[in-house]
Amino acid sequence: MTVQNEINALIGKKSKKFIYMDHAATTPMDPRVKKAMEPYFVENFGNPGSFYEVGLKAKMAVTKARENTAKYIKALPEEIIFTGSGTESDNMAIFGVARAKGSGHIITSTIEHHAVEMPCEQLEKDGFKVTYLDVDKYGIVDAKDLKNNLQKDTILVSIMMANNEIGTIQPIKEIGKIIKDFNKKTGANVLFHTDACQAGGSMPIDVKKLGVDLLTLNGSKIYGPKGVGVLYKRKGVKIKPIMYGGFQEAGLRPGTENVPNIVGFAKAFELVQNGMEKENKRLCALRDRMINGIEKSIKKVRLNGHSKNRLPNNVNFTFMDIEGEAFTLFLNELGVYASTGSACTSERLDPSHVIVATGVPYECAHGSVRFTLGHSSTKEDVDYVVKMVAKIVDILRKISPLNLDEKTLKSNLQL
Amino acid sequence: MTLKMLQDGSNWMYSNVVKEHFFHPQNLLEKAPKKGEFDGFGEVGSPACGDVMRVWIKVSPDGKKIKECKWQTFGCASAIAATSMMSVIVTEKGGMTLEKALKVTPQMITDRLGGLPTRKIHCSVLGDQALQKAIGEFRSKKD
């Protein structure tokens, strides 16, 4: 069969499906969230800062959302700061601590989201010292390595709870304990921030047990609205604002509160936290079915991340000899939506820093594809996608002149 | 980026011409060539950078025109489509003279594709360089 015949057989036939497998990029809104938000657009439009009844209704909604969110992460209501996004919360935490301390040393990892990585890079330019901890081949930060890097002038550690690309879950509790012990022993005051945007939908979050001082969440990954985030800031932790102009959110997030989004966030967080036990079980089974299916049907692949210590919805593979963007364009044609770590979809034109950090050589990193499952995913979807993935990989390998030795993929992985 | 550019696909999921060449690659080399089957071969790019193009050409008996131009590409959709388009440009209308083929530019290929996102052009339109190498190899063999 010619390549053209194979392509025609793949994309020529039936009508497009709609199989969304990019829930780590964003989730559709849960209709119950939309319903909770609805009264706060037109009906109860008031400014929570206004001293009359219309404002009071809005203020009550924000207060209730704050109390509810605090309850689920075992925090106090006054420890919840509503922001405009996960990125904003990360920036607020990192620049907020840096501005409060003035100078010092920061520890983070090589696989953080850009919302943590880029503020740290900026602070380096501003004179702060930053240590980027390496990860092992699964993308896990070594807590001992972190311990060894704590210094007298360390002001902040920022390590994500779960990785957005490869789903690896970090030993946050262990790191939290190390930092606490260090502070106790040396009298230092190292603060600990974690970006829990990807974890929020499928992991219980107890800020006390985790031992964190600052924690980021956002709405768009948990079937809530886009444009709303949360920064948990432990009582007593001092940060300086990164914006000025009003007294909302204890002066840390000036600007009229986005009431519907705040209400929507709290509702979404409540729903995912309450529903996760059952949903995680379902997703883990689907995830493992997909991983096994791909490993069985396609040669020269690597599962990125850890096989067990990963988010319930994350599947990430590197396919050798092909490029991920071309791959996802085929998927798109079938109505299957996934994302790639290829350079071609990044503004920086580099392949994913996360995939590279786990030891995948550049020539293979371009062929990385992430599938993230969600509420809508079914066994039928998974089986269909596995079948299609095998066909697409086959076609693109016929178009590609590469036939790299499988050892190339494994060469750097003996960490 | 304007709304119009998104609607007509020129700045997002590629133009229709790019998609046409991506899903219907022209002149793709499907079988490993036999020794002496082609008159010239050229390769550009590197796997680490994410783009590799190989081009094989057959030249008319008088040594003036390109008769066939086959290729293989590792890279994104625009890289595949651009190499396909390049192979069409140099073989259509009875084949391009080697002189003219040496002057095929990324801009010409991009224009025929109905445009590409700017940041894609320098990395994915490399087929012309592979072609130049193939012509160079043909000429050096002849000498």
CA distance A76 to A207: 10
Return the pLDDT at A98.
98
Question: Could you write out the DSSP letters of every residue in A193-219?
Answer: EEE-TTTTTTS---HHHHT-SEEEEES
Q: Which two tokens stand for residue A64?
A: 């209730």
Rounded to 10 degrees, what is the CA torsion of A256, A260, A264, A266?
A: 50
A133-136 LR contacts (CB < 8 Å, sep 24+) = A133/A107, A133/A108, A133/A109, A133/A159, A134/A109, A134/A110, A134/A357, A135/A109, A135/A110, A135/A111, A135/A168, A135/A357, A135/A358, A136/A358, A136/A415
B13 touches chain A (CB under 8 A): yes
* Cβ atoms B130, B55 nearer than 8 A: yes
Domain ranges of chain B: 12-142
Across the interface, of B23, B28, B51, the residue whose CB is closest to A11 is: B23
Run of H or E including A337:
strand A336-337
Pairing mode, strands A214-218 and A154-158: unpaired
Rounded to 10 degrees, what is the CA torsion of A395, A399, A401, A407?
A: -20
Q: Which candidate, A328, A408, A409, A316, places its Cα nearest to that of A368? A: A316
Run of H or E including A336:
strand A336-337
| B10 band by pLDDT with thresholds 50, 70 and 90 | low
Half-sphere exposure of A38 (CA within 13 A, CB side): 8
pLDDT (tens digit per residue) in A51-61: 999 999 999 99
Across the interface, of B43, B53, B80, the residue whose CB is closest to A326 is: B80
B123 touches chain A (CB under 8 A): yes
Helices A53-72 and A259-297 pack at an angle, to 10 degrees, of: 30
Catalytic, A197? Answer no
pLDDT (tens digit per residue) in B49-97: 889 999 999 999 999 999 999 999 999 999 999 999 999 999 999 999 9
Q: Is pLDDT of A388 > 90? A: yes
- For residue A368, list chain B residues with Cβ-Cβ distance below 8 A: none
Q: Is pLDDT of A414 > 50? A: no
pLDDT (tens digit per residue) in A272-328: 999 999 999 999 999 999 999 999 999 999 999 999 999 999 999 999 999 999 999
Catalytic, B76? Answer no
Fold of B12-142: Sufe protein. Chain: A (3.90.1010)
- For residue A2, list chain B residues with Cβ-Cβ distance below 8 A: 30
Reported in sequence order, the residue ranges of A57-153 that DSSP labels E, i.e. its strands, are: 80-83, 105-109, 129-133
Run of H or E including A351:
none
Quote the distance between the C-alpha of residue A375 and its chain's center: 17
User: For B38-115, where are the alpha helices, taking DSSP H only?
Assistant: 77-91, 98-101, 106-112
Q: Which two tokens stand for residue A146?
A: 């972190």
φ, ψ dihedrals at A229, nearest 5° = -135, 175
- For residue B48, list chain A residues with Cβ-Cβ distance below 8 A: 361-363
Sign of CA dihedral A135, A138, A142, A145: negative
CA distance A314 to A275: 18
Helices B77-91 and B16-23 pack at an angle, to 10 degrees, of: 90
Which residue out of A120, A197, A284, A344 is catalytically annotated?
A: A344
Reported in sequence order, the residue ranges of A96-184 that DSSP labels E, i.e. its strands, are: 105-109, 129-133, 154-158
The nearest alpha carbon in chain B to A360 belongs to: B48
Residues in chain A: 415
Q: Is pLDDT of A128 > 90? A: yes
Run of H or E including A380:
helix A379-399
3-state helix, strand, coil in chain B (%, to 5): 45, 20, 35
Tell me, what amino acid is at A124? E
Beta bridge partners of A372: A22, A314
Q: Do B28 and A7 touch (CB under 8 A)?
A: no
Q: Most B CBs within 10 Å: which of A11, A300, A327, A344, as the mutation test of the B interface?
A: A344
pLDDT (tens digit per residue) in A139-189: 999 999 999 999 999 999 999 999 999 999 999 999 999 999 999 999 999
pLDDT (tens digit per residue) in A7-63: 999 998 767 899 999 999 999 999 999 999 999 999 999 999 999 999 999 999 999
Q: Which candidate, A187, A129, A138, A130, places its Cα nearest to that of A163? A: A138
More confidently predicted of A340 and A175: A175
Return the pLDDT at A413.
53
Q: Measured between alpha carbons, how far apart are the two ends of chain B, in Å?
A: 50
Q: Do B79 and A4 touch (CB under 8 A)?
A: no
Q: Which candidate, B139, B138, B132, places its Cα nearest to that of B44? A: B132
Pairing mode, strands A129-133 and B66-74: unpaired
Q: Is pLDDT of A415 > 50? A: no
- For residue A326, list chain B residues with Cβ-Cβ distance below 8 A: 22, 75-77, 79-80
- Can you give the three-state secondary structure of A230-257, one letter per residue? EEEECCCCCCCCCCCCCCHHHHCCCCCC
Interface of A with B (CB under 8 A): 2-4, 7, 11, 321-323, 325-326, 329, 332-333, 342-344, 347, 349, 351, 361-363, 366, 398-402, 404
Return the pLDDT at B8.
65
Return the pLDDT at B41.
97
- Tell me what the pLDDT averaged over chain A comes to: 95
Q: Do A347 and B119 touch (CB under 8 A)?
A: yes
| B30 band by pLDDT with thresholds 50, 70 and 90 | very high
Q: Which two tokens stand for residue A411?
A: 């060469």
pLDDT (tens digit per residue) in A93-123: 999 999 999 999 999 999 999 999 999 999 9
Residues in chain B: 143
| A379 band by pLDDT with thresholds 50, 70 and 90 | very high
Rounded to 10 degrees, what is the CA torsion of A220, A17, A165, B53?
A: -130
Residue listed under structure tokens 């904003």: A88
Run of H or E including A36:
helix A31-37
Tell me, what amino acid is at A103? S
More confidently predicted of A350 and A224: A224
Instruction: Write down all domains in chain A, each with its CATH number in brackets.
Output: 3-21+276-413 (3.90.1150.10), 31-274 (3.40.640.10)
